[in-house]
Chain A
Amino acid sequence: MSWRVRVVHTTGYRYEAPVTQSYNEARLTPRGDRRQNVVVSRVETTPATRAYRYTDYWGTEVTSFDLHAPHLELKVVASSVVETGEENEPNRSGSWPDLKSEALLDRYTEFLDWTPYVPKDKELAAVARELRKGVSPADAVLAACHWVHQQLKYQPGTTGVHSSATDAWRAREGVCQDFAHLTLVLLRAMGIPSRYVSGYLHTKPDGAVRETVRGESHAWIEAWTGGWWGYDPTNAIPVGPRHIWVALGRDYGDVAPLKGTYSGGAASALDVTVEVTRLA
C-alpha cells in the first residue's frame, strides 16, 4: 500500500553576532524513482534568497544560495508532498560468486570502498565473516542490519555529525546516521555494494490520515544483491511507505542536508523540526 505524505523540514542556524557572506547548499529535495513520486517540493529561506538548483554527481537535487545582508538567523524550510511506495522486498537474485565478478566490482567500486565515516576495521570484518557464513547475500544484509540493531543503543547525544562508524561501535550507542554507517562497514567487508540513504521517517506505523506527527530526519542503507533494495537498521524494519528518501551516497559526507561557510560570529544550530503528515 502506498502513502501520500507531506514533509515540512525546518532547519538553520542562529548566530551570536551578525553574519555576512554566507554561502550554503541544501540537500533537502526528495527524489523520484520507481517507488517514490515527488508531487511538489520547494526550499525556502529566511531571509529570502535567490536560490540556484542543480543536480550533483550522486543525482541529488541541490539548492544553493548565498546571503550578504547582515543577519542573526538563517532559517531553511523544505516542504514537499511525496507518494511513497510499497515495502521493499530483499532482492535475492544475486549469489556470492555474482558479487565477486570483475565487472560488478568495477561498476560499484565507489560503494565498496572505505571512507572516513565507513572505515576498514579488523574486528568488524571478523563479525562480517561470521554473519555471512552459510547464508545468501540478501540474508547476510538482513543479518548485518539486525546485528547492528542489537549492538547499538539508540541514544542521541553521544555521537556527532563527524563520528565514524567505529566511534559509534566503541560507544555502543548512536543515532540513525551511526546505525547506517556501521551497517555499511559490515556490508562492504562482506563485499556487498552498499550505500547511505538520507531521508525522513513517519514515526507511526499505522499513521492516521491528516494527523501531523513529529517525524525525524532519518538515514538507512541500500544494498546490491542482484538489485538495489533498502533496509532500515535503526528500527530493524524494511523500507516502506513511511520512508521518504532524499539522497544517496557513499556516506553522510555525500548527502549532508545543509552545509556552508560564512563570516561572522559563532553559530548554533536551530531546532530541527520535521513535520510529517499522511495525506492519503
Chain B
Amino acid sequence: MTAPRPSKLFDGYLDPDRPHADAYDEMFTRDEGVRSAYRALHESIAPSEVADLNARSEALGRAFVDQGITFSLSGQERPFPLDLIPRILTASEWAKLERGIVQRVRAMEMFLADIYGDAQIVRDGVLPRRLITSCEHFHREAAGINPPNGVRIHVSGVDLVRDVDGVFRVLEDNLRCPSGVSYVMENRRTMARVFPDLFARHRVRAVGDYAVHLLRALRNAAAPNAADPNVVVLTPGVANSAYFEHSLLARQMGVELVEGRDLFCRDNLVYLRTTEGERQVDVIYRRIDDDFLDPVHLRADSVLGVAGLLNAARAGNVVIANAMGNGVADDKLVYTYMPEIVQYYLGEKPLLPNVDTFRCWLPDERAYVLDHLEELVVKPVEGSGGYGIVFGPYATTRELNSLRKRIRTNPRGWIAQPVVQLSTVPTKIGDRLVPRHVDLRPFAVNDGNFIFVLPGGLTRVALPEGSLVVNSSQGGGSKDTWVLAPRSSTVERELAEPGLAGAEGLAAIAAEQGPELSTAQQQQQQQQQLSQRTEEV
C-alpha cells in the first residue's frame, strides 16, 4: 500500500464529521490508503495544481455545451454535469457484476415469457397471482405475443448501489426504455479528449461499440424469414428529454429514426413511409412508453404510436424491442421477490443481492414500516426519476403523517428500504475534491444467444453535500465509469506467478497501463473471459 502523498486537493477528504461518514469510499480505505483500482489515478491527480484541474473542468463543460448534450430538469434544458474524476472498477469487481447482471436478465426473460404465457410460477404457488395482476404495467394485451427469438428484454439497465461494506446491491431494474447509455459514450469521448494522459496510464475497456451490440441484438430479434431485417428507432419526437440519445443510437447503428406518424400497419405488416415508397419494417427499437404504442389496444388518444402495431407483433411480422409489458418485471414490488424468481427459473441463488425491502402490502411489514417511518426511505412502486420518494430521516412530521395516510389507503403502492449509504467517489466541488455519493447503471443487451453487458455504465453522482439522491432530474451529475481490462495474456499471468523476484509490482503496473484496446481486441478478451467462465462452470 503506497502512502498517500500530501495533496491540497484531498485536504480533509475523510473528515470524520462529514455526513454519512460510514459510507464506503471507493478511492480511500478507512485508514486513508488508496485502493488498488485508483492507485494510478491518485498518483496522477494528487500532485496537480488546482488551476490545472479547473482548466480541465472548464474544457469538459465546454465540450458538452458544444455538442448540445443536455437533459431537462423540471422542464428546463441544461448541460448534464460531468465530473472530472472517473469512477473505476477493477476487472475482478466487474466480472462479478457482469455475472450477476447476466443472471438477472436471464431470470427475468424467463419470468416474462411465463407471465405472458401459462403463468406457471403462479400455478406453482411461488408468487401470488395478485402480485402480477395488480402491477400497473401488467398488460393483458401482451398475453400471447411470442417474439421470434424469445427475447423481450433487448436492453436493460440495472441500477446498482454499493453499501457500507462495499457490496454491490441492486436498487431497481429498468426493463422498459432504460435511457442514459448516450451519456456513457459521450462522457468517455469527452474524457478521452480532456485527459489523454490518464487513458495512457490505464487500460480502460471501451464503451464506444455499444451501438454495434445493440444493432446485432435488434437484427437477431427479427423473424428468421427476414433475410436483411429493417430496423428502425421509434422516438416520441424532439420534445422528449432523451431525443439526443435516440438520434445518436439511430445514427451510430445506421438505421432510420422515425416517429409514429412515419409508420403504418396494413394487414398486420408494418411499413415505413419513405420518399421511395413503402418499406416494410421488421424490428422497432421503440423509445415510447407501452401506453402509447398502439391506440387500438391502449390509449386511444395516442398519436405517438402506430395503430395496429400490437397485432402485427402478435402475428409475428414485427418485433417490438423492448417488448410490451416488460414493466411487470421491473415493478418495485415484484423486485422484492427476485430471489424466489431466480431460484424458480434458474435454480440458483442471486449473485447480486437486493437492498433489504419492506413490502407495505404485507400486513406485518406494513406495521413495521408505519412504526419506523422516520428511519426508512419510502418509495412509490410506480414512478421513476426519484419523484415521490420520501426520506424518513429528513421528512417533517407533517410529511410523515400524510405519507402514513397514503400508505394505508394504497399499501400495494409503496415499499420501504433502510437508508442505504451509497458509496462515495472523489468529486470536484469548487477547488477541492470531496466525497460524493454515487450509483451505477450498467446496460445489458440481449441478442438471444449472449447477454452483453457494456463495461462500465452510467455512474450518477449526487452533487449536494450529503445527498443520496443521484437522479439527474433531482440535480445529479455523472462520472465516466472505467472498467479496467483484466490481465488477459497468459504470458503476463505466468510472469506474475510467485517465484520471480519483484514481478508482482511490475505486473500490477502493466495491467493498469497501456493504450485503450481496439474493439477487436476487446471482443477477443471477452471471448477469453467467456471460455474461462465456462471452464469454471
Contact = CB atoms under 8 A, between A and B. Distances in A.
A106 B130 contact: yes
Interface stretch (A51-59, A156-164, A219-227): A51-59
A57 B132 CA distance: 14
A52 B141 contact: no
A109 B315 CA distance: 30
A260 B308 CA distance: 10
B307 interface: yes
Interface in B282-325: 295-296, 300, 307-308, 311, 314-315
A68 B133 contact: no
In this complex, the interface size class of chain B, counting residues with CB under 8 Å from chain A, is 20 to 34
B406 interface: no
Interface in A83-124: 105-107, 109-110, 113
A54 B128 CA distance: 27
Contact of A56 (B144, B264, B268, B300): B144
Nearest to A66: B308
Nearest to A263: B307
A50 B265 CA distance: 13
B132 to A, nearest CB: 9
Contact of B311 (A58, A64, A109): A64
A21 B296 CA distance: 12
Contact of A54 (B133, B300, B314): B314
A64 B129 CA distance: 29
B143 interface: yes
B398 interface: no
Given A55-B144, A66-B267, A109-B130, A261 B314 contact: no
Nearest to A110: B133
Contact of B140 (A21, A57, A107): A57
Contacts of B266: 66, 68
A216 interface: no
Given A52-B315, A66-B266, A66-B308, A25 B129 contact: no
Contacts of A113: 133
Interface string B123-140: 000001110011000001
B537 to A, nearest CB: 37
A261 B130 contact: no
B317 to A, nearest CB: 10
Interface in A229-267: 259-261
A260 B296 contact: yes
A109 B132 CA distance: 10
B362 to A, nearest CB: 13
B442 to A, nearest CB: 34
Contacts of B267: 50, 52, 66
A21 B263 CA distance: 12
Nearest to A58: B140
Contact of A109 (B129, B140, B300, B314): B129
Contacts of B295: 261
Identify which of A24, A50, A55, A64 gathers the most chain B CB atoms within 10 Å of its CB.
A64
Contact of A66 (B140, B265, B300): B265
A21 B129 contact: no
A52 B143 CA distance: 16
A189 B308 CA distance: 37
B268 A21 contact: no
B173 to A, nearest CB: 24
Q: Which interface residue of B141, B265, B268, B311 has the most chain A CB atoms within 10 A? A: B311
A210 to B, nearest CB: 39
Interface in A25-68: 25, 50, 52, 54-58, 64, 66, 68
Contact of A23 (B133, B141, B308): B308
Nearest to B300: A261
A58 B144 CA distance: 11
A106 B314 contact: no
Given A25-B296, A57-B140, A52 B268 contact: yes
Contacts of A23: 265, 296, 307-308
A261 B294 CA distance: 10
A53 to B, nearest CB: 10
B365 to A, nearest CB: 17
A155 B39 CA distance: 82
A138 B311 CA distance: 40
B239 to A, nearest CB: 23
A21 B141 contact: no
Interface string B264-277: 11111000000000
A57 B141 contact: yes
A57 B133 CA distance: 12
A113 B129 CA distance: 13
A259 B141 CA distance: 14
A106 B133 CA distance: 10
B87 to A, nearest CB: 44
A145 B144 CA distance: 35
Nearest to A108: B129
A186 B317 CA distance: 44
B307 A21 contact: yes
B298 to A, nearest CB: 11
Nearest to A50: B267
Nearest to A262: B307
A263 B158 CA distance: 41
B66 to A, nearest CB: 43
Contacts of A50: 267
A106 B129 contact: yes
A201 B308 CA distance: 32
Contacts of A68: 266
A87 to B, nearest CB: 32
B391 to A, nearest CB: 32
Contact of B264 (A21, A24, A106, A109): A21
Contacts of B307: 21, 23, 66, 261
B143 A57 contact: yes
B37 to A, nearest CB: 48
Contacts of A25: 296
Contacts of A107: 129
Contacts of A54: 144, 311, 314-315
A158 B268 CA distance: 38
Interface string A64-78: 101010000000000
Interface in B141-184: 141, 143-144
B265 to A, nearest CB: 7
A56 B141 CA distance: 7
Given A55-B144, A57-B143, 11 more contacts: A25-B296, A52-B268, A52-B315, A56-B143, A66-B267, A107-B129, A109-B130, A110-B129, A113-B133, A260-B296, A261-B296
25 contacts: A21-B307, A23-B265, A50-B267, A52-B267, A52-B315, A54-B144, A56-B140, A56-B143, A57-B140, A57-B143, A64-B268, A64-B308, A64-B311, A66-B265, A66-B267, A68-B266, A105-B130, A106-B128, A106-B129, A109-B130, A109-B134, A110-B129, A110-B133, A259-B296, A261-B307
Across the A-B interface, the 8 shortest Cβ-Cβ residue pairs: A57-B140, A57-B143, A109-B130, A23-B307, A23-B308, A23-B296, A106-B128, A64-B311
